[in-house]
Structure 1
């Protein structure tokens, strides 16, 4: 009960301080901020409120600043400069060791074929490997029966020469790949860093321009930047190919056509400027 009384007393003190000092506590919604609403308090009201009652917490009183909140954005599409191809080598045999060895032999041939197609060895890596027993339901016997052990080796290939993607896929299929899972187009780390810097600068300029125009409409100008935060979104272009063995065989006749899509990148800036 004593704790409740203490909270009530504190609330009364805060309310009295606000009334005596003439300070205002304004709540500004995100929608209002997006619209460039001014947040202001007449100079000296903080000091009056705190002098009237020093127990008032400073963060409860609005700062002696006139601020405008705005957001800026910049969006562009870019041509990707790298691709990641996900390939699968699958084998099935009654014997786990035989299935495993068959998979190892095929995977080795695939790696050799990829290197012959111009892919550097450091751009070829295994992303997952699994060996598990596979079962099939026997309707006559009304039970599951083992059909063997399936080994799956998923190989990722990274390319910077996007025009060679079709040739690389065909070479892998010819060497033993029996599943082409996906191809993802993206930006290299160096290119992404450059794009990020460009768009953040554009978004910041957009935010400042908005603040100046809104302030001008009210007959004032903007002064210093008070706060700023940024966000950045970039999603590589993912294409699920789903070429299983029968589809892969059909690709042998001609080079697989691969057309990269553009990647979309967006940068956003939220900023507050002091008003003159």
Structure 2
């Protein structure tokens, strides 16, 4: 009798263990059919802000001398930024480092300390796109010996992105209707929307020059892109004449 009871306990335990995946499988089978598509919307915009990463790199035999040289050059850089109308709130230190510099001695086959290098990097934002070339010239003349990068963007892209979202949803709906027609069904209610947004810069052909001798800079054009993944329900397609199709 005790053996029979143990056997039943094992059987019931196995049934309970199998019931969970079976229930999940049954639930998945009850999910209504859906059409999942992607849609894209793109809006072109003229940049109205530039961001420049600029650095002063100085080297000397002693660390204090390298730091002194770097400080003098950076003060000149800050003066240039002020002269070009760049506000303090639009200037931010991104990196400051003092690192030893080593040289390899072939005769002794070893590294030796050759000096020290000081790096001070700034991130600068400006709304004066026409003056970017002249600003770069002035920064280099003041002692900025490394331009890490220049990027253009739009200060307030909310309205532009909203328009791209409308285009993306319309594109997704169009694609869903194509699939539905091919499958002899109709697009049902909207079930979900997932979004991924970003700005893709396109290089322009026109060069913006602030002066004849200024560095040529092309702000180009930004394409604000929104991609969405949309799920629609599936409905029965209406037969010709408006009546539902025969089953």
State the TM-score, normalizing by the size of structure 2.
Answer: 0.75
Query: Is 1:165 matched up with 2:132?
Result: yes
Question: Among 132, 135, 141, which residue is 2:108 paired with?
Answer: 141
* Residues 194-249 of structure 1, C-alpha deviations (whole Å, 9 max, x = no match): 332211111111112333344355555434212222222334579xxxxxxxxxxx
Distance of 1:8 and 1:120 partners within structure 2: 69
Per-residue deviation, 1:100: 1.1
Distance 1:66 1:156, change over 3 A: closer
Per-residue deviation, 1:119: 1.4
Distance 1:181 1:70, change over 3 A: closer
Distance of 2:183 and 2:99 partners within structure 1: 71
Question: Pairwise mapping of residues 1-276 of structure 1 onto structure 2 (< 5 A)?
Answer: 6=14, 10=18, 14=22, 56-57=23-24, 59-63=27-31, 65-188=32-155, 190-191=156-157, 193-216=158-181, 220-235=185-200, 254-276=213-235
Q: Identify unmatched segments of 5+ residues in structure 1.
A: 15-55, 239-252
Per-residue deviation, 1:262: 2.4
Bigger relative contact order, structure 1 or 2 (CA pairs below 8 A, ≥6 apart): 2
Distance of 1:220 and 1:101 partners within structure 2: 75
Equivalenced residues, count: 217
SS at match of 1:255: coil
Distance of 2:85 and 2:136 partners within structure 1: 12
| 8 Å CA contact 1:207, 1:271 repeated in 2 | yes
Cα root mean square deviation, aligned:
3.0
Runs (4 or more) in structure 1 with deviation over 4 Å come to 216-220, 235-238
Q: Identify unmatched segments of 5+ residues in structure 2.
A: 1-9, 204-211, 236-247
